Structure 1
């Protein structure tokens, strides 16, 4: 087995320029760049808060919580989904994979720190480096929209699943949801970075070099975000790959309208200015709006207007 490549967190200007014409290179550079601070940026943790979130997303999609003996995460990032599912008892043995060596390195480090039975590989989703029928479960969170050839990736998912094995992908942007989320994010960034130029609000301004780096990362992020999804179309892609019992669900409408400006604001100002009180306000408000989405809006709005789509199914048994 060939050794995995090493992380490259400091891409050259030439590499970044080349990435604009190469989505896979862009994914590697962007996620290697972000790996060391990704958990902090997205408020990812490995405690009860994120365990509850991850297991809740899994149950919302699959209708059960396992346990599954042997599972792989596709595009694992820092391990958020798989490691929290393991802590929640959904998965016993886990394998992380990602196109970014930096993300795999951080995910494995997180797994070791948690004392979990996990290993992993640098892997292209369109050519997963595991044998046929290796896993009882394949999961992913916010990964499909980064993959150039999603149908090829779903055929690979079918190949590495055991007969009857399940897949669950969560956190994918819908076509409608992506439009309002990105619009809110851009407006919040402009407002925060311009308002903090003046008067007492200057104390809330990040150093210009940090803001410039965030802007460059955002520009590259636009290259790595390749797809948005219509729930019905995503179901069709999975069925065309030979998967069965396919079902897509959606979530987060009011929660997304609140969450995207909040996350953007947090990225635009010094973290130490916000503190624990802000974190609890943001989390509790998101919880209340999620309750509203589930109890009210899910019953009256079409599934296409929600921000996240989750999809599950099985390999024929």
Structure 2
């Protein structure tokens, strides 16, 4: 996948190279090749998802997701040092975390990076539509194409579990951070949480795709071509989802890369037990069936259960049981001149 490393998109610092072309429809032959190459799998899978990713995960750039992003950030990092002058999102996807943090006043200027050209393209389009000051690069997280000491903050959401060498990525994050700069990664699956989430998702997919074969419910079945493509992309998910994390082990990885003031926090137990079946159901049925009333119900259910997690379950359950783990740390400050 070296042809994607250090490639810039139009408008990015050091730009001028042509954009790599997204490949949104992986062929069966490409999928077979991707099983031996996790980085190729990430490109194909996320290029395939780029155009519909925000819809699939109910991502928006309004008050709902601004509040979510800023609350997640503050839950692990606190509110000191805001606004950060320049932040990079590692594995940005469509820009959900960075762009909503910018709208929430946490960050002034942003840079998006992702191994998927399709995702970077969508992230830059989203930033442009929002009028935000953002540049972008197609980039390997293990070799970030920015100079040392560039950023005040590095963020990421649901990215570390896609990266083959997590400790190498932490080292790169620390390299591009300014001395004393902070990183915040959220939305990473815990080892135990991923186990029950996958089982619930698989069961929900099987039930939905089989029950909708019944004549009375056939209008709830997605066209076969879409289901076949979803299955092909889902096959790649087994390759792109490389890691799950024990919170303590993740802390040790960051410390081993040279970070200081490292802290991991977990969230979502009850919310995950209900949220994963809902998300899987939404992916298995035609989008036009998901009315505003349904989406409001799903969102309110997640909010209520998240409140239960924070107010009650986080106080009595081990952090390893929760689905999401968030981690923060800082780059050691520059040595003081004698």
* TM-score category (smaller protein): over 0.9
| Equivalent of 2:124 in 91, 97, 108 | 108
How many aligned residue pairs are there?
317
Moved more, 195-204 or 108-117: 195-204
2:74 aligned with 1:32:
no
Moved more, 138-147 or 15-24: 15-24
Equivalent in the alignment of 1:205: 221
Superposed displacement of residue 4, structure 1: 4.1
Equivalent in the alignment of 1:118: 134
Superposed displacement of residue 41, structure 1: 0.7
Question: Whole-Å Cα distance in 2 between the matches of residues 316 and 270 of structure 1?
Answer: 50
2:82 aligned with 1:78:
no
Moved more, 183-192 or 56-65: 56-65
| Equivalent of 2:173 in 133, 151, 157 | 157
Equivalent in the alignment of 2:153: 137
Unaligned runs of 5+ in 1: none
**After superposition, what is the alpha-carbon deviation per residue over 1:254-294, rounded to whole angstroms, capped at 9, x for unaligned?**
00001000000001111111200000100001000000000
Superposed displacement of residue 81, structure 1: 0.3
Q: Does the 8 A contact of 1:75 with 1:98 survive in 2?
A: yes
Unaligned runs of 5+ in 2: 1-13, 334-338
**After superposition, what is the alpha-carbon deviation per residue over 1:145-169, rounded to whole angstroms, capped at 9, x for unaligned?**
0000000000000100000000000
Q: Does the 8 A contact of 1:4 with 1:121 survive in 2?
A: no
Q: 1:142 to 1:62 in 2, by over 3 A?
A: same
Q: Does the 8 A contact of 1:9 with 1:33 survive in 2?
A: yes
After TM superposition, the score normalised by the length of structure 2 is 0.92
| RMSD (Å), alpha carbons | 0.9
Could you say what secondary structure the match of 1:127 adopts? Answer: coil
Question: Whole-Å Cα distance in 1 between the matches of residues 202 and 238 of structure 2?
Answer: 12
Question: Whole-Å Cα distance in 2 between the matches of residues 85 and 15 of structure 1?
Answer: 36
Equivalent in the alignment of 1:194: 210
2:293 aligned with 1:277:
yes
Regions of 4+ moved over 3 Å: 1-4
Equivalent in the alignment of 1:230: 246
Question: Whole-Å Cα distance in 2 between the matches of residues 106 and 301 of structure 1?
Answer: 38
Question: Whole-Å Cα distance in 1 between the matches of residues 160 and 79 of structure 2?
Answer: 22
After TM superposition, the score normalised by the length of structure 1 is 0.99
**After superposition, what is the alpha-carbon deviation per residue over 1:49-73, rounded to whole angstroms, capped at 9, x for unaligned?**
0000100110011011621000000
**After superposition, what is the alpha-carbon deviation per residue over 1:114-134, rounded to whole angstroms, capped at 9, x for unaligned?**
000000100000000000000
